[in-house]
Structure 1
Amino acid sequence: MGSGASKQVQPSSKQLYSKSKSEEYVDEDEKALEDHKMYLENMYMLKRMFKQLDPAVMKTTSDVQGEVKVSVKHVSDKSLLLVKVIAAQDLLAKDVRGHTSDPYVKVELLLNHQTAPTSSEEYSNVRSTAVVKNNLNPVFNEIFTFSLTTEQINIAQLRCSVWCYDALGRDDFMGERIISVSDLDCHDNVQTAWYELLPEIDLSIGGYVSIKLTYKLPQTLNVMIQGANNINAAVGNVEPYVRAYIPGVPYVYKTKPCKNEDSLVWNEDFDFPLPKEELTSRYIVLVLADGNSTESYFGECHIDLDNFQFEHGFEGSFALSDMRGNVTVRSRWTRNAITQEFKEALEAHAMYRKPEFMFSRVRGTNNAGVTVRVPKAGAQSRLRVVNGILVH
Structure 2
Amino acid sequence: MAYTQLEPINEGVLARLTDCLLCRKSCRSCLLWCWECIYCPTSDEEVEILGPFPAQTPSWLVDECVDEVINPAVQQADAMPIPQDTISNRRRSSSEMSRSTFSLVRQLSSLDARRPSSPLVDLKPIEFWAMGPRKEVIQPLRRPQTPPDDYFRKLEPRLYPLDSSRDDVDLLTDDEILLRYQLGMLHFSTQYDLINGHLGVRVIEARDLAPPLACDSSRQDMAHSNPYVKMSLLPDHKNSRQTGVKRKTQNPVFEERFTFDLPFLEAQRRTLLLSVVDFDKFSRHCVIGKVALRLNEVDLVKGGHWWKALVPSSQNEVELGELLLSLNYLPSAGRLNVDIIRAKQLLQTDMCQGSDPFVKVQLVTGLKLVKTKKTSCMKGTIDPFYNESFSFRVPNEDLNEVSLVFTVYGHNMKSSNDFVGRIVIGQFSTGPPETSHWRRLLTSQRTPVEQWHSLRSRAECDRVSPASLEVT
Task: Please give the range of the TM-score, normalised by the shorter of the 2 chains.
Answer: 0.3 to 0.5
**Which structure has more strand as a fraction of its residues?**
1
Report which structure shows greater RCO (CA 8 Å, sep ≥6): 1
* TM-score normalised by L of structure 2: 0.28
Structure 1 length-normalised TM? 0.33
Larger Rg: 2
